[in-house]
A and B are shown apart, each in its own frame.
Chain A
Amino acid sequence: DTGVSQNPRHKITKRGQNVTFRCDPISEHNRLYWYRQTLGQGPEFLTYFQNEAQLEKSRLLSDRFSAERPKGSFSTLEIQRTEQGDSAMYLCASSPGQTYGYTFGSGTRLTVV
């Protein structure tokens, strides 16, 4: 297992366009998390899946954001009608359980111009 994989690593998009990011977690991990991190700050929680069920969403996740995890495997995070304020690093993490800690991917750096 090569860890948590995120694609793409970098994405530059024009304001108003839609973008989609993919996360492939560690295969044995049933928990998957999305976080957003701006420069010099700690990651902020966006949403959490246990298997295919999305169990919690942050209020940061406006109606322009949607996340899926079909069949409890990989996950996608889509941002519609991107805004400059969406520019950030989007991190995906997986875990076999809450007390085990997260394994993070390398993130997707989004720049909205």
Chain B
Amino acid sequence: TQLLEQSPQFLSIQEGENLTVYCNSSSVFSSLQWYRQEPGEGPVLLVTVVTGGEVKKLKRLTFQFGDARKDSSLHITAAQPGDTGLYLCAGDRTGNQFYFGTGTSLTVIP
């Protein structure tokens, strides 16, 4: 059983469209991170959110941590082919490790 469920699992969109990826859990996390991973490489950290309700922006990417610190969302505006990849959320419960979500595979078609 995955601690963090991501939806959708797969997403294929046209360049210029907007999209939102969701990361949900029944557990409370002290912090949550988002990573992007390209094939054959390790995940790369995008952002860390630590406060319930927190919103962070990274260029065209907007990250939000739920008020109860159980869920998060990633919104991409005007997607570009370079955004293609596997998006992973990861939550910290114990202070010793991050639990990773199931992942959302995004393909942006030129």
Residues of A within 8 A of B (CB): 4, 33, 35, 40-45, 48, 55-56, 91, 93, 98-107, 109
A–B pairs, 6, beta carbons within 8 Å: A56-B94, A98-B96, A99-B92, A101-B33, A101-B45, A106-B41
Q: Find out whether the CB atom of B99 lies under 8 angstroms from the CB atom of A105.
A: no
Contact B100–A44 (Cβ < 8 Å) = yes
Q: Assess whether B31 is in contact with A99, with CB atoms less than 8 Å apart.
A: yes
> Is the beta-carbon distance between B102 and A104 smaller than 8 angstroms?
no
Number of A-B contacts (CB under 8 A): 61
List the interface of chain B (C-beta within 8 A of A). 2, 4, 6, 31, 33, 40-45, 48, 50, 86, 88, 90, 92, 94-103, 105
Please pick, from B4, B42, B50, B103, the residue contacting A93 in the complex, using a CB distance under 8 A.
Answer: B42
User: CA A51 – CA B50 in complex, angstroms?
Assistant: 25
Of chain A, the residue at the smallest CB distance from B34 is: A101
Complex Cα spacing A104 to B98, Å: 13
Min CB–CB distance B100 → chain A (angstroms) = 4
Chain B hits for A43, CB < 8 A: 43, 88, 100
- Contact assessment for A42 and B101 in the assembled complex, using a CB-CB cutoff below 8 Å: yes
Q: A101-B33, A107-B41 are in contact. Are A48 and B105 (CB under 8 A)?
A: no
Of A42, A98, A103, A109, chain B has the most CB atoms within 10 Å of the CB of: A42
Contact partner of A106 (CB less than 8 A), chosen from B42, B96, B100, is: B42
CB distance from B86 to the nearest CB of A (A): 8
Q: Inside 8 A of B86's CB, which chain A residues have their CB? A: 40
